[in-house]
Structure 1
């Protein structure tokens, strides 16, 4: 159930119209890293964990709903930046008013040029936000990412928040309006907050690595293939122990020869790890059984009926009424 509160989550303000920046801001309205993408991604992901992970479901729905609030802030800011455009476009009988609003002939010609690049924003929309990115590409559902596995989805969401944060950071460079920057900084900060929420939720699920259920092949999980010529660099990605599985990194300095010597890696041996094929298969079966039991128990029909919601307050109220 959604309930719309007419006041914005953050009091967005604009000092003066700015048609050009309004168009740039569309990137966060209908772009691939924008607020609608985030809202729909978290909203869709939440369905899969409603029963098995009710706490994470609650978090995903809360953040998805907040993202819709952010979409409203972005849309409201765009509309304020377009102040005057909507009315002047309606004044079809006198084009001189639009020329004056755009500060003369040169500005009007620039406006027309932009309209040719993105006609929907300047001509078809009539001066209102559109669900497109900044160059007019329409929003589409292919932006949404979800794997149906909560640990994988949370990692995708961490990436989504990172991308959105960077877009806001870049947008702030293209406006001198301190009020607009104030709103953008709020929105950018909430991306950082959500990043941390998803990260904390991921750490709350044990085990959470690797994503999914099936374990990795111990012959290849700690191999580092040196695939380039020139100076070699060392770091925690190719020396010492791997961060998650604590296996010793095995550096293959001559990949071509190594592949040839091992019959295309078919004869590769596991080194630097205590895991074996037998232990991997055992862990696969164990985790598969555990996750299946979690889902089955959480989704088991009650009295032959599957119900999405349990209206505890209504049930309690009826119970007290019948006493």
Structure 2
């Protein structure tokens, strides 16, 4: 089917939008200045794209569409391998934790490897490899915390100035 926006809005001319009508922008571009972080974001994008192309492939019976999607799926497979290879090379140089240039001694090691249970009804997350044993980066051991340890106190905040037209304060008596 045709997108009615092509006729109604653009008079059958091309519009600079994606397949659901969102304007084309560079918001999806990730450029953090750290190649390892950016390459991981690229791997995620290729993984999402391949997943979506496979979903469409499995929804259609059109052999021509399946052929085109098979090409896109294959290219996404290549791109994932490309980013995985580049990530592995950078991890060899910089380590697995990004950025590798930050002195890890400045982190709070007491919480750097803890998985906190936020579920009131389950402790299933304690069974995962991310809750016990050596970390993939080899820099410590995971530990599972049944309860979140609260630090600090409840802040006492001033109400915004009336010129900002805030909601009136609500006080329980």
- Give the C-alpha shift of residue 135 in structure 1: 2.6
Which stretch has the larger CA shift, 155-164 or 240-249?
240-249
State how 1:262-301 maps to structure 2 within 5 Å.
263-264=151-152
- Aligned match of 1:208: 95
- Aligned match of 1:223: 114
- Give the C-alpha shift of residue 240 in structure 1: 1.2
1:88-135 per-position Cα deviation (integer Å, ceiling 9, x unaligned): xxxxxxxxxxxxxxxxxxxxxxxxxxx2xxx2x233444465432233
- Give the C-alpha shift of residue 136 in structure 1: 1.3
TM-score, structure 2 normalization: 0.73
- Higher helix residue share: 1
- Give the C-alpha shift of residue 197 in structure 1: 0.6
Corresponding residue pairs, total: 144
Verify the 8 A CA contact 1:131 1:139 in the aligned structure 2.
Answer: yes
Verify the 8 A CA contact 1:146 1:156 in the aligned structure 2.
Answer: no
Verify the 8 A CA contact 1:242 1:248 in the aligned structure 2.
Answer: yes
- Aligned match of 2:136: 243
- Give the C-alpha shift of residue 242 in structure 1: 1.4
**Secondary structure of residue in 1 paired with 2:134:** coil
Verify the 8 A CA contact 2:115 2:144 in the aligned structure 1.
Answer: yes
Verify the 8 A CA contact 1:225 1:251 in the aligned structure 2.
Answer: yes
Q: CA RMSD in A?
A: 2.1
State how 1:5-154 maps to structure 2 within 5 Å.
19-20=1-2, 23=3, 115=4, 119=5, 121-127=6-12, 129-154=14-39
- Give the C-alpha shift of residue 208 in structure 1: 3.5
- CA 1:245–1:196 in structure 2 vs 1: closer, same or farther (change >3 Å)? same
Instruction: Compare relative contact order (CA 8 Å, sep 6+) and give the higher one, 1 or 2.
Output: 1
1:286-320 per-position Cα deviation (integer Å, ceiling 9, x unaligned): xxxxxxxxxxxxxxxxxxxxxxxxxxxxxxxxxxx
Verify the 8 A CA contact 2:32 2:38 in the aligned structure 1.
Answer: yes
Verify the 8 A CA contact 1:202 1:208 in the aligned structure 2.
Answer: no
Q: Which structure has the larger Rg?
A: 1
Q: How many angstroms apart in 2 are the aligned matches of 1:127 and 1:245?
A: 57
Residue segments in structure 1 that go unaligned for 5+ positions in a row: 1-18, 24-114, 265-323
